[in-house]
Structure 1
Amino acid sequence: MPEAARHSHSAGRQPVLFLPHGGGPCFFMDWPDTWDAMAAYLRGVRDTLPQKPDAILVVSGHWETGVPTVTSGAHPSLIYDYYGFPPHTYQLDYAAPGSPQLAQTVQHLLAEAGIAAEQDPHRGFDHGVFIPFMLAFEKADIPVVELSLQQDMDPAQHLRIGQALAPLRDQNILIVGTGLTYHNLRHFMTGDPRSNDAARQFDTWLTQAITQPETQRNQALVQWESAPAARICHPSEDHLLPLMVVAGAAGTDLGVRTYSDTVMGKALSGFTFGG
């Protein structure tokens, strides 16, 4: 390939992102200062992309199935899967279209990698999608397809899923994982200094793992349970596994921590690969 053409091709390649999605509808409530830095980070995400994506494939920590499943409806609804919040938070709207074509492509790429996948034309977007996207992609003018996590929670399998989907990046498709690098809800609200220390230890380990070259990064992620305070920070790994998918899709692109904050005493991070 000529040098100019190769450069042009790489310039159009989308990065992959791991975004923090906050807690419930947190950005749309009166919680002074708590979520301001995260909200500002999410609002700035679109400006970091090389160009407007043709579509977004997102993996949230809030949908688990037996096999990888993609939303394939043309006009997905919203799933208000949070509880006990003010009435106005159940009226939030995010009318991004779906993309049956992208859903088909995702299923095909996974099949080529030997991974059986399904489509769900009725599934809507959970709050792990529409809450952060209302800030990051607020115009709702980019088609969105959501991909489920696998119920077996196997980190290596989620890396493989991401690897299979990496070709989408060269088709101007943005791959996004949303979750939280710390997700122990019981500790989140207590302010226990021990849990704050645990969050810092795990966040430090995770950042070091993500910023290593691909082979070392993936080895570390597969063995994440052996990290300092891993199970204190993630009693269930559902909010960490979207990071495995995007790390798989990153290939040889190095990870960079693009968001770092302390929320209610807990260290939190966001990452970009190939930005």
Structure 2
Amino acid sequence: MTLPTLFVPHGGGPCFFMDPGGGPPDPMWRPMQAYLAGLLATLPERPRAILMVSGHWETPELTVHVGERPSLLFDYHNFPSHTYRLRWDAPGAPDVARRAATLLRGAGHAVGEEAARGWDHGVFIPMMVADPAATIPLAQLSLRADLDPAAHVAIGRALAPLRDEGVLIVGSGMSFHNLRARGPQLTLVAAAWDAALTDAVTDPDSARRAARVIDWESLPHARFAHPEAEHLLPLMVALGAGGEAAAVCDYRDVVLGWAVTAYRFG
């Protein structure tokens, strides 16, 4: 069975786990938490592994994490002390990482391997919600530091065979990510960006869809929504891996004044 590919929001820092007693998050984050918590149940079958691309790992050349039991990398700052003691002990998936590397090299991409880096919060925060029992092995793939949109769509295309091998390909980022701009005064601008992005991502013609998303900087308010592109590039990988499959908006909400959207391909 062919699995879909996903682009999901990972929230802000440890936003779902701010209560030291384990209570629910701030009401603003609860719809996103509910979306992530229900994600696996929406799949046609439970994946045997996940390959995740996070907006928090960039390397000069593509790199796959081949660790057996990665630690957590607490790459957020000025949050309560208990959020630096969170645990998510899922096994790594070195076989999937190396299979991904083989596919990428076959498509002409240079790929390195490493095993020491911990999973960043773009991985473990959404996965603590989606798979709290930490039962699904996970491999992480870096972004390429040049953040070239067309290259990352091509990277996704090279990874597409994994979808028929029980591997769920997930891009983890945010559809809007401007940390210097927050509040309800942003909502109209963020909504205009979101509508334009969603129109491009859900274009029924897959070739035109890819071309429009690659040209994301031409969309209204693009560089306001993403002063830096690293939180958008995981979308390119998910889109490329989705191939000609239909693309839909999977979730949408407003947090911090931002319209935030998730997408599903296939």
Normalising by structure 2, we get a TM-score of 0.96
Q: Which amino acid aligns with 2:198?
A: T
Aligned to 1:246: 238
Gaps of 5+ in 2: 20-24
Q: Which amino acid aligns with 2:201?
A: I
Distance in structure 2 (CA, Å) of the matches to 1:203 and 1:65 = 28
Regions of 4+ moved over 3 Å: none
| Pairing partner for 1:222 from 181, 202, 214 | 214
Question: Is the CA contact 2:7–2:234 (under 8 Å) kept in the aligned structure 1?
Answer: yes
Aligned 1:150-189 pairs, distance under 5 A: 150-188=144-182
Residue 9 (structure 2) pairs with residue 25 (structure 1): no
Distance in structure 2 (CA, Å) of the matches to 1:192 and 1:171 = 43
Distance in structure 2 (CA, Å) of the matches to 1:80 and 1:217 = 35
Question: Is the CA contact 1:71–1:124 (under 8 Å) kept in the aligned structure 2?
Answer: no
Residue 101 (structure 2) pairs with residue 107 (structure 1): yes
Aligned to 1:201: 192
Deviation per CA, 1:221-248: give whole Å up to 9, x if none.
Answer: 1110010000000000100000000000
Does the residue aligned with 2:6 lie in a helix, a strand or coil? strand
Deviation per CA, 1:185-205: give whole Å up to 9, x if none.
Answer: 0102xx262x32221111001
Aligned to 1:13: 2
Distance in structure 1 (CA, Å) of the matches to 2:258 and 2:10 = 14
Q: Which amino acid aligns with 1:146?
A: Q
Q: Which amino acid aligns with 2:260?
A: L
Aligned to 2:40: 46
Distance in structure 1 (CA, Å) of the matches to 2:117 and 2:84 = 17
Residue 100 (structure 2) pairs with residue 118 (structure 1): no
Normalising by structure 1, we get a TM-score of 0.93
Distance in structure 2 (CA, Å) of the matches to 1:79 and 1:92 = 10
Residue 232 (structure 2) pairs with residue 232 (structure 1): no
Question: Is the CA contact 2:175–2:232 (under 8 Å) kept in the aligned structure 1?
Answer: yes
> How much has 1:165 moved relative to structure 2?
0.2
Aligned to 1:75: 69
Does the residue aligned with 1:228 lie in a helix, a strand or coil? coil
Question: How high is the sequence identity, in percent, across the aligned residues?
Answer: 51
Aligned length: 260
Question: Is the CA contact 2:160–2:242 (under 8 Å) kept in the aligned structure 1?
Answer: yes
Q: Which amino acid aligns with 1:132?
A: P
Q: Which amino acid aligns with 2:190?
A: A
RMSD: 0.9
Q: Which amino acid aligns with 1:267?
A: A
Which segment drifts farther, 107-116 or 196-205?
196-205
Q: Which amino acid aligns with 1:187?
A: A
